[in-house]
Amino acid sequence: MRKKIGPAAAVALAAAFLALVAACGGGGDKEATPTAVPLSGTIDIDGSSTVYPITEAVAEEFKKAQPNVKVTVGISGTGGGFKRFCNGETAISDASRPIAKAEIDACVAKGIEYVEIPVAYDALSVVVNPQNNWLTCITVAELKTMWDAPAQGTVTKWNQVNANWPDAKMALFGPGTDSGTFDYFTEHVNGKAKQSRADFTASEDDNILVTGIAGDKNGLGYFGLAYYVENSSKLKALTVDQGKGGGCVSPSAATVENGTYPLARPLFIYVKRSEAEKPEVTAFVDFYIKNAAELSADVGYVKFPEKVYSLVKTRWEKRIVGTMYATAASGATLEQLLSPAQ
């Protein structure tokens, strides 16, 4: 038989319960970190401008649950982020591609281990100015003609790429060389990472690219899907034809999920192993994984299937260090890459 409590004790218990609810962020917010203990500290994050919208959204929601934890999110690009991460300057690195061999070596030299955590899919988007009335679909071969290194200083007009296009000078905009999006695009379009013409307007800040393309009738560029979704009223996304019989495919959640969009890729965060046991970092990454599906979709990216997030959660809970891609078989799916380590 339970012992009855008096009114004063009941009031005290009610107050404690309300305090607990407040600490956990309230019932109206995204699912909060399951802790009744208020946390404090600073979590420094830097890296991909593509991943930035997801991480920033997570940080904003996490702040509602843990207002005393300061989360700073930079956008120095995937490569710039890894430089800082492997130099011991940040706890988490945002990345729009897997960590590269040179970056792995840099982390090893500093004794830095990390947990690689996929968070969502992106459909890398090729966009033009809405006044562009001659182009709705572009082939990967045409993108290569336009962007490959031999095009520098020679392929400068639209009709040099396709004779049916205007005799007008192209205005090209793209990520800087520290960007993981630059690495991905050049590898998958031009055939080798970082192999690209250099005579284009480059920036690690995708908002600068958006402004440039939106302000020039002859503008064309590429960046993550979220930046197109956010600016769809002033940009036009092109469909992409890989040239393998699939035809022109638009960047969207549906085409990523069914595997037809040729420029789809996973996005990542990398968590420093030595930081992972700090209560505030553990809580933040727990929160990130728990809410990644909803928040990535909110900002314009494509959530993983539930099975993949389950595998990601297990990878994090086991603190499995290193990259899945070091010995990855060609064509392996993300689920296949995650599964062997479980």
User: pLDDT tens digits, residue range 79-109?
Assistant: 999 999 999 999 999 999 999 999 999 999 9
* pLDDT of 125 higher than 50: yes
Name the nearest CA neighbour of 115 among 279, 274, 339, 293.
274
Evaluate if residue 121 carries a pLDDT over 50. Answer: yes
**CA 49 to chain CA mean position, Å:** 7
- Could you tell me if 129 and 83 are in contact, meaning their C-beta atoms sit under 8 angstroms apart? no
For the chain, domains (ranges, CATH) are: 31-122+266-341 (3.40.190.10), 125-257 (3.40.190.10)
Task: Give the integer Cα–Cα distance in Å for 143 and 185.
Answer: 10
What band does 4 get if pLDDT is binned at 50, 70 and 90?
Answer: very low
By percentage, how much of the chain surpasses pLDDT 70? 89
CA separation for the pair 218, 134 (Å, rounded): 11
* CA distance from start to end of the chain: 45
Cβ neighbours for 161, distance < 8 A, ≥ 6 positions apart: 142, 145, 146, 155, 170
pLDDT of residue 151: 98
Which region among 21-25, 51-55, 59-63, 326-330 has the lowest average model confidence (pLDDT)? 21-25
pLDDT single digits (tens) 197-215: 999 999 989 999 999 999 9
pLDDT given for residue 313 in this prediction? 97
CB-facing half-sphere around the CA of 2: CA atoms within 13 A: 3
pTM: 0.85
What pLDDT is stored for residue 282 in this prediction? 97
Q: How confident is the model at residue 30 (pLDDT cuts 50, 70, 90)?
A: low
Q: Is the pLDDT of residue 13 over 60?
A: no
Tens-digit pLDDT profile for residues 173-186? 999 999 999 999 99
For 124, phi and psi rounded to 5 degrees? -55, 125
Residue 24: per-residue pLDDT: 44
Query: What 3 state SS string does the chain have?
Result: CCCCCCHHHHHHHHHHHHHHHHHCCCCCCCCCCCCCCCCCEEEEEEECCCCHHHHHHHHHHHHHHCCCEEEEECCCCHHHHHHHHCCCCCCEEEECCCCCHHHHHHHHHCCCCEEEEEEEEEECEEEECCCCCCCCEEEHHHHHHHHCHHHCCCCCEHHHCCCCCCCCECEEEEECCCCHHHHHHHHHHHCCCCCCCCCCEEECCHHHHHHHHHCCCCEEEEECHHHHHHCCCCCEECEEECCCCCCEECCCHHHHHCCCCCCEEEEEEEEECCCCCCHHHHHHHHHHHHHHHHHHHHHCCECCCHHHHHHHHHHHHCCCCECCCCCCCCCCCHHHHHHHHC
Name which of 327, 330, 324, 335 is nearest 98 in CA terms.
324
Q: What is the pLDDT of residues 215-229, one digit of tens each?
A: 999 999 999 999 999
Q: How many CB atoms lie within 10 A of CB 44?
A: 17
Using the predicted structure, report yes or no on whether residue 303 has a pLDDT greater than 60.
Answer: yes
Q: Which residue has the higher pLDDT, 121 or 331?
A: 121
244: pLDDT confidence band, cut at 50, 70 and 90?
confident
Mean pLDDT of the chain: 89
The confidence score (pLDDT) of residue 72 equals 98
d(CA 256, CA 249): 10
Give me the pLDDT at residue 22, please.
41
- With cut-offs at 50, 70 and 90, classify the pLDDT of residue 326: confident
Residue type, 329: A
Say how far apart CA 334 and CA 312 lie, in whole Å: 10
Looking at the predicted structure, is the pLDDT value of residue 237 above 80?
yes
Report pLDDT for 245: 76
Tokens matching residue 299: 């900002």
